[in-house]
Amino acid sequence: MKQNVYFVSGIDTDAGKSYATGYLAREWNQHGKRTITQKFIQTGNVGHSEDIDLHRHIMGISFTEEDREGLTMPEIYSYPASPHLASELDNRPINFDKIKRSTEILSERYDYVLLEGAGGLMVPLTTKLLTIDYIAQEKYPLIFVTSGKLGSINHTLLSLEAIQKRGIVLDTVLYNLYPTVEDKTIQNDTMNFIRTWLEKYFPDTKFLLVPEIKE
Protein backbone atom coordinates (compact mmCIF):
# COMPACT_ATOMS: atom_id res chain seq x y z
CA MET A 1 0.00 0.00 0.00
CA LYS A 2 1.18 3.51 -0.78
CA GLN A 3 1.92 5.74 2.20
CA ASN A 4 -1.11 7.91 1.51
CA VAL A 5 -3.69 6.69 4.04
CA TYR A 6 -4.52 8.92 7.01
CA PHE A 7 -6.65 7.64 9.87
CA VAL A 8 -9.18 10.16 11.22
CA SER A 9 -10.18 9.85 14.87
CA GLY A 10 -11.29 12.23 17.57
CA ILE A 11 -11.91 12.90 21.23
CA ASP A 12 -15.27 11.10 21.28
CA THR A 13 -18.32 10.07 19.27
CA ASP A 14 -19.58 13.66 18.98
CA ALA A 15 -16.33 15.36 17.97
CA GLY A 16 -17.61 15.97 14.45
CA LYS A 17 -15.24 13.54 12.71
CA SER A 18 -17.52 13.05 9.72
CA TYR A 19 -17.90 16.79 9.14
CA ALA A 20 -14.16 17.30 9.52
CA THR A 21 -13.34 14.36 7.24
CA GLY A 22 -15.66 15.62 4.51
CA TYR A 23 -14.31 19.15 4.84
CA LEU A 24 -10.66 18.10 4.62
CA ALA A 25 -11.36 15.87 1.62
CA ARG A 26 -13.08 18.77 -0.12
CA GLU A 27 -10.15 21.07 0.61
CA TRP A 28 -7.57 18.59 -0.63
CA ASN A 29 -9.54 17.90 -3.80
CA GLN A 30 -9.85 21.60 -4.50
CA HIS A 31 -6.06 21.87 -4.22
CA GLY A 32 -5.45 19.12 -6.75
CA LYS A 33 -4.99 16.22 -4.31
CA ARG A 34 -7.34 13.47 -5.47
CA THR A 35 -8.84 12.36 -2.17
CA ILE A 36 -11.40 9.71 -1.24
CA THR A 37 -12.91 9.03 2.17
CA GLN A 38 -13.57 5.64 3.70
CA LYS A 39 -15.64 4.75 6.76
CA PHE A 40 -13.60 2.17 8.61
CA ILE A 41 -16.53 0.50 10.38
CA GLN A 42 -20.06 1.91 10.30
CA THR A 43 -22.51 1.07 13.05
CA GLY A 44 -26.18 1.96 13.35
CA ASN A 45 -26.85 1.50 9.63
CA VAL A 46 -28.03 -1.24 7.31
CA GLY A 47 -26.52 -1.70 3.86
CA HIS A 48 -25.16 1.83 3.50
CA SER A 49 -23.04 4.28 5.51
CA GLU A 50 -24.68 7.54 6.51
CA ASP A 51 -21.23 8.98 7.26
CA ILE A 52 -20.17 8.41 3.65
CA ASP A 53 -23.38 10.18 2.61
CA LEU A 54 -22.35 13.14 4.75
CA HIS A 55 -18.81 13.13 3.35
CA ARG A 56 -20.10 13.30 -0.22
CA HIS A 57 -22.57 16.06 0.67
CA ILE A 58 -19.85 18.22 2.19
CA MET A 59 -17.43 17.37 -0.63
CA GLY A 60 -20.08 18.45 -3.13
CA ILE A 61 -19.86 15.27 -5.19
CA SER A 62 -22.18 12.41 -6.03
CA PHE A 63 -21.56 8.82 -5.02
CA THR A 64 -18.39 7.42 -6.48
CA GLU A 65 -17.80 4.10 -8.20
CA GLU A 66 -15.95 3.04 -5.06
CA ASP A 67 -19.06 3.83 -3.00
CA ARG A 68 -21.14 1.62 -5.26
CA GLU A 69 -18.53 -1.14 -5.00
CA GLY A 70 -18.69 -0.95 -1.21
CA LEU A 71 -14.99 -0.16 -0.93
CA THR A 72 -15.61 2.99 1.09
CA MET A 73 -17.90 1.24 3.57
CA PRO A 74 -16.54 -2.29 3.90
CA GLU A 75 -18.12 -3.20 7.24
CA ILE A 76 -21.60 -2.04 8.33
CA TYR A 77 -23.47 -3.13 11.45
CA SER A 78 -27.06 -2.40 12.36
CA TYR A 79 -26.84 -1.54 16.06
CA PRO A 80 -25.59 1.96 17.01
CA ALA A 81 -22.82 0.92 19.38
CA SER A 82 -19.06 0.48 19.49
CA PRO A 83 -17.84 -2.01 16.86
CA HIS A 84 -17.10 -4.81 19.33
CA LEU A 85 -20.71 -4.79 20.59
CA ALA A 86 -22.36 -4.06 17.22
CA SER A 87 -20.56 -6.99 15.58
CA GLU A 88 -21.53 -9.26 18.48
CA LEU A 89 -25.21 -8.29 18.23
CA ASP A 90 -25.21 -8.85 14.46
CA ASN A 91 -23.41 -12.16 15.06
CA ARG A 92 -20.79 -11.26 12.45
CA PRO A 93 -17.13 -10.72 13.37
CA ILE A 94 -15.34 -7.74 11.86
CA ASN A 95 -13.49 -8.79 8.72
CA PHE A 96 -10.26 -6.84 9.08
CA ASP A 97 -8.82 -8.42 5.94
CA LYS A 98 -11.76 -7.07 3.93
CA ILE A 99 -11.23 -3.60 5.40
CA LYS A 100 -7.51 -3.69 4.62
CA ARG A 101 -8.07 -4.87 1.04
CA SER A 102 -10.61 -2.11 0.46
CA THR A 103 -8.22 0.50 1.85
CA GLU A 104 -5.41 -0.80 -0.36
CA ILE A 105 -7.55 -0.53 -3.49
CA LEU A 106 -8.53 3.04 -2.62
CA SER A 107 -4.89 3.82 -1.92
CA GLU A 108 -3.95 2.72 -5.42
CA ARG A 109 -6.76 4.63 -7.14
CA TYR A 110 -6.38 7.95 -5.32
CA ASP A 111 -3.67 10.30 -4.15
CA TYR A 112 -4.96 10.25 -0.57
CA VAL A 113 -7.38 8.23 1.56
CA LEU A 114 -9.02 9.64 4.69
CA LEU A 115 -10.02 6.62 6.77
CA GLU A 116 -12.59 7.65 9.37
CA GLY A 117 -12.84 5.58 12.53
CA ALA A 118 -15.82 4.96 14.79
CA GLY A 119 -15.97 7.05 17.94
CA GLY A 120 -12.83 8.01 19.85
CA LEU A 121 -9.35 6.54 20.01
CA MET A 122 -10.05 4.05 22.81
CA VAL A 123 -13.19 2.59 21.23
CA PRO A 124 -12.91 -1.23 21.24
CA LEU A 125 -13.01 -2.93 17.86
CA THR A 126 -12.92 -6.33 19.55
CA THR A 127 -12.55 -7.32 23.19
CA LYS A 128 -8.79 -7.42 22.59
CA LEU A 129 -8.17 -4.59 20.11
CA LEU A 130 -8.72 -0.86 20.57
CA THR A 131 -8.95 1.62 17.70
CA ILE A 132 -5.74 3.36 18.77
CA ASP A 133 -3.85 0.05 18.73
CA TYR A 134 -5.14 -0.69 15.24
CA ILE A 135 -3.79 2.68 14.10
CA ALA A 136 -0.41 1.92 15.65
CA GLN A 137 -0.40 -1.60 14.20
CA GLU A 138 -1.06 -0.34 10.67
CA LYS A 139 1.33 2.61 11.13
CA TYR A 140 -1.21 5.11 9.81
CA PRO A 141 -0.46 8.79 10.42
CA LEU A 142 -3.29 10.29 12.45
CA ILE A 143 -5.57 13.24 11.84
CA PHE A 144 -7.20 14.01 15.16
CA VAL A 145 -10.47 15.93 15.55
CA THR A 146 -11.29 17.98 18.62
CA SER A 147 -13.67 20.84 19.35
CA GLY A 148 -14.45 23.68 21.70
CA LYS A 149 -17.14 22.12 23.84
CA LEU A 150 -16.69 21.95 27.60
CA GLY A 151 -14.36 19.07 28.46
CA SER A 152 -12.46 19.08 25.19
CA ILE A 153 -9.17 20.16 26.77
CA ASN A 154 -9.23 17.19 29.13
CA HIS A 155 -10.20 14.71 26.40
CA THR A 156 -7.64 16.12 23.98
CA LEU A 157 -4.69 16.04 26.38
CA LEU A 158 -5.49 12.49 27.49
CA SER A 159 -5.64 11.46 23.84
CA LEU A 160 -2.34 13.16 23.05
CA GLU A 161 -0.62 11.23 25.83
CA ALA A 162 -2.01 7.94 24.49
CA ILE A 163 -0.92 8.84 20.94
CA GLN A 164 2.57 9.70 22.09
CA LYS A 165 2.86 6.55 24.20
CA ARG A 166 2.16 4.35 21.17
CA GLY A 167 4.50 6.19 18.82
CA ILE A 168 1.74 7.23 16.44
CA VAL A 169 2.57 10.06 14.05
CA LEU A 170 0.17 12.91 14.78
CA ASP A 171 0.01 14.64 11.41
CA THR A 172 -2.79 17.13 12.02
CA VAL A 173 -5.19 18.30 14.70
CA LEU A 174 -8.46 19.57 13.26
CA TYR A 175 -10.28 22.00 15.54
CA ASN A 176 -13.96 21.73 14.71
CA LEU A 177 -16.02 24.92 14.90
CA TYR A 178 -19.16 23.02 13.84
CA PRO A 179 -21.86 23.12 15.13
CA THR A 180 -22.24 26.84 15.70
CA VAL A 181 -22.39 28.03 19.31
CA GLU A 182 -23.59 31.48 20.37
CA ASP A 183 -21.24 31.86 23.34
CA LYS A 184 -17.72 31.33 22.00
CA THR A 185 -15.89 31.98 25.29
CA ILE A 186 -15.02 28.34 25.98
CA GLN A 187 -14.54 27.56 22.29
CA ASN A 188 -11.96 30.31 21.78
CA ASP A 189 -10.08 29.59 25.00
CA THR A 190 -9.96 25.87 24.24
CA MET A 191 -8.66 26.56 20.75
CA ASN A 192 -5.84 28.76 22.04
CA PHE A 193 -4.94 26.33 24.82
CA ILE A 194 -4.72 23.30 22.51
CA ARG A 195 -2.81 25.21 19.84
CA THR A 196 -0.25 26.41 22.41
CA TRP A 197 0.07 22.88 23.84
CA LEU A 198 0.76 21.46 20.39
CA GLU A 199 3.38 24.12 19.64
CA LYS A 200 5.20 23.10 22.82
CA TYR A 201 4.88 19.30 22.78
CA PHE A 202 4.00 18.42 19.15
CA PRO A 203 5.84 21.06 17.11
CA ASP A 204 5.65 19.04 13.87
CA THR A 205 1.86 18.64 14.05
CA LYS A 206 -0.34 20.89 11.92
CA PHE A 207 -3.27 22.71 13.57
CA LEU A 208 -6.19 23.53 11.27
CA LEU A 209 -9.67 24.94 11.81
CA VAL A 210 -12.77 23.28 10.43
CA PRO A 211 -15.13 26.22 9.83
CA GLU A 212 -18.83 26.32 10.54
CA ILE A 213 -20.15 24.35 7.61
CA LYS A 214 -23.09 25.91 5.84
CA GLU A 215 -25.77 23.33 5.05
* Model confidence pLDDT, tens digit, residues 5-59: 999 999 988 889 999 999 999 999 999 999 999 999 999 999 999 999 999 999 9
Residues at the binding site for substrate are 43
**H/E/C letters for each residue in the chain?**
CCCCEEEEEECCCCCCHHHHHHHHHHHHHHCCCCEEEEECCEECCCCCCHHHHHHHHHHCCCCCHHHHHCCCCCCEECCCCCHHHHHHHCCCCCCHHHHHHHHHHHHHHCCEEEEEEEEECCCECCCCCEHHHHHHHHCCCEEEEEECCCCHHHHHHHHHHHHHHCCCCEEEEEEECCCCCCCCHHHHHHHHHHHHHHHHHCCCCEEEEECCCCC
pLDDT of residue 117: 97
pLDDT tens per residue, range 148-202: 999 999 999 999 999 999 999 999 999 999 777 788 999 999 999 999 999 999 9
Residues assigned a catalytic role: 39
Residues at the binding site for ATP are 14-19, 51, 116-119, 211-213
pTM for this model (two decimals): 0.96
Q: Which domains does the chain have, with CATH numbers?
A: 5-210 (3.40.50.300)
